[in-house]
Amino acid sequence: MSRDPLVVGHVVDDILDPFTKTASLRVLYNNKELTNGSELKPSQVANEPRIEIAGRDMRNLYTLVMVDPDSPSPSNPTKREYLHWLVTDIPESTNASYGNEIVSYENPKPTAGIHRFVFILFRQSVQQTVYAPGWRQNFNTRDFSALYNLGPPVNAVFFNCQRENGCGESLYDCFINSNNRRPSCTKPEWQQPPRTVMKVISLGGKPEAIILSKHSTACLP
């Protein structure tokens, strides 16, 4: 079984096809470098991160895409993918501030479950005009890459984020912890099977009705 965080976290499959990393990408929030599978709070990602692309040839240009494949909730991602940021024409050896911002940074504000936020880097073959989509929801990274002939990604990194008072464990952490033989693992909402809850309604001390309902949650007892 692959231990690649992008595979374990279903970034590869849900929004990307398998690819080979051929470029250096650093994403820094508050001067702290992001690693795949990191857990960050919304307050930590309120401001756009610093994006650094290593290299020596400024003639090489890159496109950066940031999406949320779990919007509005991991169990029902009807807005997959939600576009949070789009920058093109970033010269190699510089950062995103030198590029052309097509869609401004929208800070993550997950409301239900654990969301994955993914940065995807493409190498451009030429400088070209890229148009902002009409809306952020239901963006498709694969279609975007095909439309502008970007080819496969050259790097990607993601982090997990939930509400400040949320609970649960990311799929990547579940995988790592289970392989380290930790006694338990709580999957995020989008990996939880529905569970049946029985409620008894009583009147005058006697049971009158039984209601069965299904719930899926990231915080099971």
Q: Is pLDDT above 50 for 186? A: no
In this prediction, residue 3 carries a pLDDT of 84
Q: Are 138 and 89 in contact (CB under 8 A)?
A: no
Q: pLDDT band for position 89 (50/70/90)? A: very high
- pLDDT of 165 reads 77
Per-residue pLDDT band at 74 (split at 50, 70, 90)? very high
pTM: 0.76
CA distances from 56 to 59, 60, 78, 90, 151 (A): 9, 9, 41, 13, 22
pLDDT in tens, 12-32: 999 999 999 999 999 999 999
| Tokens (6 digits) for 153 | 């990604």
Q: Which of the two residues, 75 and 203, has the higher pLDDT score?
A: 75
Where b means 16+ CB within 10 Å and e means fewer, 138-162 reads ebebeebbeebebeebbbbbbbbbb
Backbone angles phi, psi at 11, to 5 degrees: -65, -50
Confidence of residue 83 (pLDDT cuts 50, 70, 90): very high
What pLDDT does 216 receive?
A: 39
What pLDDT, on the 0 to 100 scale, is given for residue 166? Answer: 59
